[in-house]
Amino acid sequence: MLAVLLVEAGQIVTTDRLVDELWGDKPPRTATGTVQVYVMRLRRMLEGSPVGLVTRGHGYQLVADDGAVDASLFERDAEMGRRSLASGKTRHGVGRLSEALGLWRGRPFADVPATQTVTGAAERLEHLRLTVIEDRFSGALDLGRHAEVVDELAELVQAHPFRERLHGLLMTALFRCGRRAEALAAYHRVRDTLVAEIGLEPSSELRRLHQAILTDGAEPAAPAETAHLRRLAPPTGALLDDARLPDEVTGFVGRQAELALLDLAVGRGATVVAIDGMAGVGKTALALHWAHLNRDMFSDGRLYVNLGGQTSTSPPRSADVLSRILRSFGEPEEEIPFDAERLTARYRELLAGRRTLVLLDHVRDAEQIRPLLAGVPGCVFVVTSRAPLDGLSHQPHHPQVHLDVLSPAEAGKLLEHLVGALRMSAEPEAAAELVRACAYLPLALRVAAVGVVGHPGRAIADYVRNLVVKAPL
């Protein structure tokens, strides 16, 4: 109970809520009386301390002197340290962040039974601690202390393999220590982890940092917490960076007619082009392939936005998407409007007069993206969706590209690229059967290829038999 009251210090916590926190949906009949006994005991324990417990209406309030709660001290020092970093007082900011981190002793509430409030507070504090650690390392790198922090960063990325910012900081420190090969190896480790564990490529920021180190570009800046790194080379004047567009999928095959249709539509002045087709048929792959082929057409950059589509029960609101896009443009947080009308207006102002490609992926329906179709000259919007999108733009007949499964020859070529020509030639009949079992669907073929490649000693025929046995009737 003391832990709950400390989390809510200064706030009134009702008796009913305390009962719920302590016993959940199975409180004893004496729960209210037991809470009153606990309050009496806590008051005795807190006598003479800078913390007091008072009754307020139907609840209780923990009143604490300034500085009495270490979590509050930590958050205060962390905020002051981050402000110092933001204002250019790097040395002072790093010192203040170090003081904040010095207050920690193990995990918060480690000796307290988990309740909803306690668990939530512990997770929030732990997340903040890691962010403060990253801020301190970023400041230390700005002060040229890369040799001092590189070993500690290496330990931290082992403990927190999904914190991409930590990996970026380690890569930067290694590069500045003259350990370029190790910096590149660090990138490949985090990429392998992300792809294997959660099926995602590293963020665009981490990919940009990797590219800069790979090409021995300008001195990498310490990765920022925000959605973009400082550039590693002089700005080109482009509004967007190509790193904001995901890499195209490996082994793209076929789709020549669809690519030609996209070229024709945009060449004739279409500003909105839609690609539809069933799940797993390769809509995103086609859109990304075309976008990478035509990068020179969009001198002001290319922007990718994932709208969630049918894979999410609550796809993002257009206002949230617009806010995210404005941040990626580099708009200061305090200048981003709150209302949808002003967000849309600012978005259109930023795109006006620029040659930009906007790829809107996994769209649920036309209403979801109508505010994102700016309708400004020079911009092209490529939209992917499972179903045809009617009334998508002001154009009376916006081009619609319908995507079907691959031809048998194309599907075989894709599988050969993914598993290797040797495996295919060793078992041509089994390989052909696998292609048929996957119904020539690109996503199914890629999933099957992972299973084949992951077991190099296993015959393709064995994989096909296992696939057929497990398939639902």
Average the pLDDT over 103-118 and give the result.
Answer: 86
Average the pLDDT over 92-117 and give the result.
Answer: 88
- Predicted confidence at residue 393, as pLDDT, reads 54
314 confidence band (pLDDT: 50, 70, 90)? low
Per residue in 181-240, pLDDT (tens digit) is: 888 899 999 888 888 777 778 888 888 888 888 776 544 554 444 322 222 222 233 334
Alpha-carbon torsion, ordered 376, 382, 383, 388, to 10 deg: 100
Q: Is the pLDDT of residue 345 over 90?
A: no
Average the pLDDT over 135-159 and give the result.
Answer: 90
Average the pLDDT over 66-95 and give the result.
Answer: 87
Q: Is the pLDDT of residue 355 over 50?
A: yes
468 confidence band (pLDDT: 50, 70, 90)? low
404 confidence band (pLDDT: 50, 70, 90)? very high
Q: Which residues, 6+ apart, have CB-to-CB distance to 285 below 8 Å?
A: 248, 249, 252, 442
Average the pLDDT over 25-35 and give the result.
Answer: 91
- Predicted confidence at residue 41, as pLDDT, reads 94
- Predicted confidence at residue 391, as pLDDT, reads 65
Task: Report how far residue 106's alpha carbon sits from residue 289's, in angstroms, rounded to the nearest whole number.
Answer: 48
CB-based contact 187:206 (threshold 8 Å): yes
Q: Is the pLDDT of residue 398 over 80?
A: no
**Hunting for tokens 């490649």 — which residue is that?**
453
Burial of 204 (0-12, 13-18, 19+ CB in 10 A): buried
Tally of residues, the chain = 473
Q: Is the pLDDT of residue 365 over 90?
A: no
Between 338 and 125, residue with greater pLDDT: 125
Between 179 and 327, residue with greater pLDDT: 179
- Predicted confidence at residue 313, as pLDDT, reads 53
Class of domain 2-64 as given by CATH: mainly alpha
CB-based contact 236:298 (threshold 8 Å): no
Q: Is the pLDDT of residue 136 over 90?
A: yes
Say which CATH topology domain 144-234 has.
Answer: 1.25.40
Average the pLDDT over 60-64 and give the result.
Answer: 90
Residue 117 CA from chain centroid, whole number: 26
- Predicted confidence at residue 28, as pLDDT, reads 92
- Predicted confidence at residue 315, as pLDDT, reads 64
Q: Within 13 Å, how many C-alpha atoms sit on residue 160's CB side?
A: 18
Per residue in 412-445, pLDDT (tens digit) is: 999 888 888 888 888 889 899 999 988 999 888 8
Query: The domain 256-402 belongs to what CATH superfamily?
Result: P-loop containing nucleotide triphosphate hydrolases (3.40.50.300)
Q: Is the pLDDT of residue 449 over 80?
A: yes
Task: Report how far residue 185's alpha carbon sits from residue 191's, in angstroms, rounded to the nearest whole number.
Answer: 10
Give the range with max mean pLDDT: 153-167, 298-312, 447-461: 153-167
Between 18 and 347, residue with greater pLDDT: 18
Closest CA to 366 of 326, 320, 307: 307
- Predicted confidence at residue 243, as pLDDT, reads 36
Indicate the average pLDDT of the chain.
82
Average the pLDDT over 271-281 and give the result.
Answer: 89
3-state secondary structure of 60: strand
- Predicted confidence at residue 286, as pLDDT, reads 93
